[in-house]
Amino acid sequence: MNEEEKVVALEPSRAGQVEILRNCAPPPALSGAARENKLKMIRRILIRRILAEEREFRTISQHQMADLSAMIASLGVERGLSQAYGANQSG
């Protein structure tokens, strides 16, 4: 049986599962302490994700920031030397 035949054979099963899901009642709304606990859990998860992404960003950008700082420092030294010696040179 090739892949296309497998898909065709599974279609009735898929359609049945979709129908079951459509007929399911939505979960009951949380209230009170259960709602607060869920919100706290979601906040903790989001904060952990944000901190993990920030850590990854710092890891990736740390080398580039060091290179940029070195370039800026080099330009400052170059400008200082140019002001000190470049303007005083003749011919």
Given this model, what pLDDT does residue 40 score? Answer: 96
pLDDT, the chain, mean: 88
Tally of domains in the chain: 1
Contact between 78 and 85 under an 8 Å Cβ cutoff? The reply is: no
The whole-number average pLDDT for the span 2-14 is 89
Q: Tally Cβ neighbours within 10 Å of residue 31.
A: 8
The whole-number average pLDDT for the span 24-52 is 93
State both tokens at 56. 């990854």
Residue 6 lies in a domain: no
Residue 13 lies in a domain: no
Q: CA triplet 28, 31, 34: central angle to 5 degrees?
A: 95
Residue 9 lies in a domain: no
Contact between 10 and 2 under an 8 Å Cβ cutoff? The reply is: no
Domain with 73 in it: 28-91
Residue 27 CA to residue 24 CA, distance in Å, equals 9
